Amino acid sequence: MLAVHLVSFYFSKLQEDPTKKVDRFLHAMRLGDDQLRDISARFLAEMKKGLSSESNAAAAVKMLPTHVRSTPDGSEKGQFLALDLGGSKFKVLQVKVREGMGIRKGGVGMEEKTYPIPKELLNGKGSELFDHVAESLKDFLQERNIDMEKKHPLAFTFSFPCGHTKLDQGFLLNWSKRFRVRGLQDKDVVQALRDAVDRAGGMDVEVLAMVNDTVATMMTCGFDDKHCDVGVIIGTGTNACYMEALRNVDLVEGDEGRMCVNTEWGGFGDDGTLKDFITEFDQNVDAASNNQGKQIFEKMISGMYLGEIVRLVILKMANLGLLFDGHVSDALRTKGKITTADVAAMEEYKTGLKNTKNILVGLDLTPSQDDCIAVQHVSTIVSFRSSNLVAAGLVAILTRIKENRKSRTLTITVGVDGTVYKTHPQYAKRLHKVVRRLLPECQVRFLLSDSGSSKGAALVTAVAQRLATRRKQVDETLCPFRLSQEQLLLVKSRMRAGLEAGLESEGPSAIKMLPSFVYHTPDGTERGKYLALDLGGTNFRAMLVKFRKGLQQSTRLYHKIYTVPPEIMQGTGEELFDHLAECISDFLDYMGIKKARLPAGFTFSFPCEQTALDTGSLVSWTKGYKATDCEGHNVVEMLREAIKRRNDFDLDIEAFVNDTVGTMMSCAYEDPQCGVGLIAGTGSNVCYMEERDAKTQRMCINTEWGGLGDDGSLDDIITPFDVEVNRNSVNPGKQRFEKLTSGMYLGEVVRQVLLDLTRGGLLFRGHVTEALKTPGIFETKYLSQIESDRLALLQVRCILQQLGLDSNCDDSIIVKEVCGVVSRRAAQLCGAGMAAVVDKIRENRGLDHLDITVGVDGALYKLHPHFSQILEETTRLLAPQCDVTFMPSEEGSGKGAALITAVALQKQGM
Ligand code: BG6
Ligand code: BG6
Ligand code: GLC
Ligand code: GLC
């Protein structure tokens, strides 16, 4: 006996260990650490390529933004339906997430049912596959007695590459694994599901989120371990996702926070990057697949292909006479005859060899003991290569996260799922060991997703639901600012009625319709040298204007701007006019013309009752002015007296005009069709040439349209935020239209809305800061900047930070939106008002069609990125019989005041 043993021992030594020939034969599949590091570095480069917007289109590793921005924080709650499509099983589930509880305390309850997918559906029409999905869902609801009447939020795990534009919209890039369904590529899969649910009927289901299985897995594990920032699937297919810094995700706007990126690493190598690691067996597997040239990395790793690689290796070895004495069976030649489950069985710890023999016998082969050892070793090498490749990919991802965090070490958890990882006896252990060996500085924990991906999908959906609720509340808050065309037409007709009432009434009216005593627009014959004084909103301007030979090219302008400090705006009238006289004195010194007694035009941008061109009594202050002893007084006289008090220069104030009138005149100098002046600046106002009766001439009327609504006629569109702004203003109850439309108030309206949203916990994490409580922080220039399309969200955030508002990315989006609705409403209301004015002029002149130019000035019109366009669109829409050209005034209304002075003096024959 002993002799026999010795002989066979000796013989087997002579014959050599059967694993050695396999090692030699599969040399290319046995990857050393250096090779794995090399592959890892290549994958890292591919990740960068996929993340960059410049190279993404050509990248093999797609790095798809998922629009999942956070891992679970424990606040998720709710009851969800879930669908899980794309792995080895199709499942319908019900997931209940109880608030603030971990799974171990029974925080998440799940019920599930697996539904088979008929084979023909894998290659059939998209609508048929989704009809099957919807019918299965319906069956599940009925079977579990789930209330069909109630609305159910649904989470959808869809384990294929999708380009997401948001959580509930994803366009299928391509099928992978067993699926090759027609008519869905490039289509929104969520919509396809919604349509199918509608077709099935009888269910009220709201699909809130669609996620890849990797993402869902990361979320499932993240519920138990807050360090879980990576999700990996090693199942039918293979893939990984991880939390990337948003600033690195070029395809999505936003720079703050993180977003989960679905790498779709299965496509690594599709562009030849892995050429030197591809064996002939990989080539054969690819050639026989239904997606040739695609998913090269996946085909070396995942459950759908491992068995096939093993079969091809054994077949080749047998053909070469290295196995089964060169015998080959038909079964061995048949695709799919060795499965991944077989590979796992062959590697079982104790029964592996026996299993291998049974499997080979099942393939009509007659294996020797050595054959069995050799085949078992083939399986080991193939599955070991698979786990090594996953390790290389993971090392790249972990390295990237480490770099993002600018840290030398890393404590991180990787959530994993998939049949290969779960059922193959050695796989997990080998994978963990290699990753830890290649990244000794990192503490990597692997967490098996014990409850599948649906729990994670439900968590994503819970967050989506919270955001949707927030969205709804923000929409509800902003809804009153969004005016319908009917509402705008109502405003137009109220403006028209207000204009008529103001013209007719002797006493006070909401719209004052003040005569300007300006009868003509310029005709180009104006000449001479004039001083123009211009008290607008926050500034006072002094200007020297020369008209030569009536040619517009020969207009000469010199000017200086002086600020009016708030204490002067709200001091005494005498102080205010002394300040203006001092500024004029300074300007005359500056120009060296103190001695010349020049004719002057005075633009005064407040409502004044005029009895002649050179007198005007202030009706009431507007725009934050409150200087005492001015209202009811002749303002021209007050300036003259202030000049007298100084006694160092003299002026002849010949014309006194509103800024709208000055603007109209200044534009009319360039364009004779100009018959309207509009200011959209600190304040809001319009003047126009009114036809008087046949005997008298036209006269320019300063409408003071800002007063529309002072009699309550706008109460139906005035929001609670406007009420608050009005209440806090220096002139409550006055200038209601102006308070909806002009630069001085828009920022305040925005601030009131932001305060409300913050108090409701919808903004700035619910913190009402001192900055937010500060009136006036949102000047028009900030609104204009925030709304600029060219500004990235990060810059919006910087502006808000300058204002003392600490915002995150979502806050910045909402703030921008609030600014947008408030300024849009302002532009639309001005457009509605303008439509009333131009239609009135058209009717006055008895025309079916009017061509007219509107001279415009003011910071809101000139600096805001969208105001002018919306104003013009609205005017066109609401006054279709008028062709209105808006012409920005070039040199302010001062030039207009000088022109009026010139006209007046010419009339007097001077
Ligand atoms: C499951 C997930 O747990 O894992 C599936 O719920 C996923 O969505 C699957 O696709 C991956 O594994 P396999 O082996 O079923 O492809
Ligand atoms: C200027 C005028 O051009 O526009 C001022 O000269 C006027 O008188 C102003 O008040 C309006 O703009 P804002 O934006 O300064 O109110
Ligand atoms: C395939 C799919 C991918 C999925 C993976 C695992 O690679 O393309 O989206 O995550 O399989 O199921
Ligand atoms: C205010 C003033 C008005 C002026 C307008 C624009 O509405 O009352 O006179 O034209 O602001 O500056």
Average pLDDT over residues 257-262: 92
CB of 228 closer than 8 Å to CB of 398: no
Torsion over CA of 729, 735, 737 and 742, rounded to 10 degrees?
A: -60
Please check the confidence at residue 908 and state whether its pLDDT lies above 90. no
Please indicate whether residue 294, judged by its CB atom, sits closer than 6 Å to ligand 3. no
Higher pLDDT, 637 or 464: 637
Please indicate whether residue 743, judged by its CB atom, sits closer than 6 Å to ligand 4. no
Higher pLDDT, 555 or 632: 632
Please check the confidence at residue 126 and state whether its pLDDT lies above 80. yes
Categorize the per-residue pLDDT at 100 as very low, low, confident or very high, splitting at 50, 70 and 90: low
CA distances from 354 to 19, 345, 366 (A): 16, 9, 13
For atom 4 of ligand 2, which residue has the closest CA?
858
Atom of ligand 2 nearest to the CA of 858: 12
CA distances from 394 to 41, 398, 400, 436, 809 (A): 11, 6, 10, 11, 29
How far does the centroid of ligand 1 lie from the alpha carbon of residue 217, in Å? 9
Please identify which of the residues 659, 722, 839, 857 carries the catalytic annotation: 659
Percent of all residues in the chain with a pLDDT value above 70, rounded to a whole number: 95
pLDDT for the residue numbered 12:
46
Average pLDDT over residues 237-262: 90
Categorize the per-residue pLDDT at 103 as very low, low, confident or very high, splitting at 50, 70 and 90: very low
Please check the confidence at residue 289 and state whether its pLDDT lies above 70. yes
Categorize the per-residue pLDDT at 549 as very low, low, confident or very high, splitting at 50, 70 and 90: low
How far does the centroid of ligand 2 lie from the alpha carbon of residue 662, in Å? 10
Categorize the per-residue pLDDT at 117 as very low, low, confident or very high, splitting at 50, 70 and 90: very high
Please indicate whether residue 161, judged by its CB atom, sits closer than 6 Å to ligand 3. yes
Could you give the count of Cα atoms lying within 13 Å of 889 in the half-sphere of its Cβ? 31
DSSP H helical segments within 485-600, as ranges?
Answer: 485-504, 566-569, 573-591
pLDDT for the residue numbered 6:
44
The mean predicted confidence, pLDDT, of the chain is 92
Please indicate whether residue 739, judged by its CB atom, sits closer than 6 Å to ligand 4. no
How far does the centroid of ligand 2 lie from the alpha carbon of residue 74, in Å? 54
Per-residue pLDDT tens digits for 805-833: 888 777 888 999 999 999 999 999 999 99
pLDDT for the residue numbered 691:
85
Average pLDDT over residues 221-226: 89
Please check the confidence at residue 737 and state whether its pLDDT lies above 90. yes
Task: Please choose, from the candidates 34, 442, 55, 72, the residue with its C-alpha nearest in 3D space to the C-alpha of residue 220.
Answer: 72
Higher pLDDT, 253 or 474: 474
Strand partners, 586: none
* 114, 159, 160, 234, best to mutate for ligand 1 pocket (most atoms within 8 Å of CB): 159
* 115, 306, 417, 455, best to mutate for ligand 1 pocket (most atoms within 8 Å of CB): 417
Categorize the per-residue pLDDT at 279 as very low, low, confident or very high, splitting at 50, 70 and 90: very high
* 563, 608, 679, best to mutate for ligand 2 pocket (most atoms within 8 Å of CB): 679
Longest dimension (CA), the chain: 144
Categorize the per-residue pLDDT at 693 as very low, low, confident or very high, splitting at 50, 70 and 90: low
Give the integer Cα–Cα distance in Å for 641 and 646: 9
Give the integer Cα–Cα distance in Å for 875 and 601: 32
Q: Which ligand is nearest to the CA of 681?
A: 2
Please identify which of the residues 176, 605, 784, 889 carries the catalytic annotation: 605
Atom of ligand 3 nearest to the CA of 160: 9
Average pLDDT over residues 338-352: 96
Please check the confidence at residue 574 and state whether its pLDDT lies above 60. yes
Please indicate whether residue 747, judged by its CB atom, sits closer than 6 Å to ligand 3. no
Active site residue 605: yes
Tell me the two tokens of residue 904. Answer: 């007046």
Average pLDDT over residues 271-292: 97
Angle 242-212-340 from CA coordinates, rounded to 5°? 95
pLDDT for the residue numbered 104:
47
Categorize the per-residue pLDDT at 867 as very low, low, confident or very high, splitting at 50, 70 and 90: very high
Per-residue pLDDT tens digits for 439-460: 999 999 999 998 788 888 888 8
Average pLDDT over residues 273-286: 98
Please identify which of the residues 69, 385, 400, 541 carries the catalytic annotation: 541
CB of 577 closer than 8 Å to CB of 535: no
Atom of ligand 2 nearest to the CA of 659: 8
Atom of ligand 3 nearest to the CA of 162: 9
Range in 151-165, 269-283, 528-542 the model is least confident about: 528-542
For atom 1 of ligand 4, which residue has the closest CA?
683
Please tell me which of 5-14, 37-46, 536-545 the model is most confident about, judged by mean pLDDT. Answer: 37-46
Average pLDDT over residues 833-862: 96
Give the integer Cα–Cα distance in Å for 806 and 784: 19
* 534, 622, 661, 861, best to mutate for ligand 2 pocket (most atoms within 8 Å of CB): 534
Per-residue pLDDT tens digits for 884-893: 999 999 877 8
Average pLDDT over residues 280-305: 97
Give the integer Cα–Cα distance in Å for 231 and 238: 11
Give the integer Cα–Cα distance in Å for 805 and 567: 27
pLDDT for the residue numbered 322:
96
CB neighbour class for 576 (10 Å; exposed up to 12, middle 13-18, buried from 19): buried
- DSSP string across 728-788: HSSSTTS-HHHHHHSHHHHHHHHHHHHHHHHHTTSSGGG---TTTTSTT-S-HHHHHHHT-
For atom 5 of ligand 4, which residue has the closest CA?
683
Active site residue 659: yes
